[in-house]
């Protein structure tokens, strides 16, 4: 399909990243947070993109297990790797946000401890699954991992981290910029997923 070819084009990949950077720079300063607001909004869009892709990977993994369709296994595995890319790059961003807004690093914050733990587990898991190379096992682990992450985060308490800073904002521009950055981040995720799929090749050649 033509749209997939366009999304897979490295030039469009660069356009998406430049657009994300440009929108982030356009975020207006806020009275309390100042220019730090732009990084906070990008940080929020990035982590939500990771969560969405982990959720999609789990859903497609379930469908792949039930249907035994090789294509679905390929899509689920690629989505999980894309989600991990978001997750691993979100963590350094989170440290920077902590330092800029709290004046230091607070590693006991549940919204840091839980994502960090899942990042380490996810990286080790994907590395192991790549070595084992069994579709049904990969789908099962991706399903359990995504569900566990969502349950852990939605049930966690916060200490310094605000519950929902974007939705609680009184400024109409903040949700707008967040929505725009989330959309661009998800688009970037689609491009990364297509890259993983192209790199994996035909699903028929992978192990059962």
Rounded CA-CA distance 74/139 in Å is: 9
Residue 109 located in a structural domain: yes
Give me the domain span that covers residue 47.
2-163+191-205
Residues 203/70, Cβ–Cβ less than 8 Å? yes
What is the spatial distance between Cα 146 and Cα 155, in angstroms, rounded to a whole number?
A: 14
Residue 177 lies inside a defined structural domain of this protein: no
Domain for residue 90, yes or no?
yes
**Do 174 and 166 meet the contact criterion of CB atoms below 8 Å apart?**
yes
Task: Provide the residue-wise pLDDT of the chain in tens; the chain has 208 residues.
Answer: 677 777 778 888 899 999 999 999 888 876 655 567 788 889 889 999 999 999 999 999 999 999 989 999 999 999 999 999 999 999 888 888 777 766 667 667 777 788 889 999 999 999 999 999 899 999 999 999 999 999 988 876 665 455 565 655 556 678 888 999 999 999 999 999 999 998 887 544 344 4
- Note the pTM of the prediction, 2 decimals: 0.86
3-state helix, strand, coil in the chain (%, to 5): 80, 0, 20
User: For the chain, what is the domain count?
Assistant: 1
Q: Is residue 16 part of a domain?
A: yes
Q: Does any domain span residue 142?
A: yes
Q: Is residue 181 part of a domain?
A: no
Instruction: Assess if residue 24 is contained within a domain.
Output: yes
Buried b (16+ CB within 10 A) or exposed e, 3-17: eeeebeeeeebeebe
Q: Would 173 be classed as within a structural domain? A: no
- pLDDT tens-digit map of 39-57: 888 988 999 999 999 999 9
Three-class DSSP category at 27: coil
């Amino acid at each position: 399909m033509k749209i997939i070819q366009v999304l897979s084009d490295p030039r469009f990949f660069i356009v998406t990243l430049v657009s994300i950077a440009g929108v982030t720079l356009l975020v207006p300063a806020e009275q309390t947070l100042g220019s730090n607001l732009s990084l906070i909004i990008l940080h929020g869009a990035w982590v939500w993109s990771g969560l969405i892709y982990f959720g999609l990977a789990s859903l497609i993994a379930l469908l792949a297990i039930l249907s035994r369709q090789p294509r679905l296994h390929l899509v689920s595995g690629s989505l999980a790797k894309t989600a991990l890319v978001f997750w691993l790059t979100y963590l350094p961003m989170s440290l920077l946000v902590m330092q800029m807004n709290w004046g230091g690093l607070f590693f006991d914050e549940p919204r840091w401890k839980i994502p960090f733990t899942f990042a380490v587990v996810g990286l080790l898991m994907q590395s192991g699954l790549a070595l084992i190379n069994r579709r049904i096992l990969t789908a099962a682990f991706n399903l359990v991992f995504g569900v566990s992450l969502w349950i852990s985060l939605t049930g966690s308490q916060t200490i310094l981290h605000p519950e929902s800073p974007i939705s609680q904002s009184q400024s109409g521009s903040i949700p707008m910029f967040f929505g725009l950055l989330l959309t661009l981040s998800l688009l970037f995720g689609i491009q990364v997923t297509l890259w993983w799929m192209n790199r994996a090749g035909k699903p028929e050649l992978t192990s059962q």
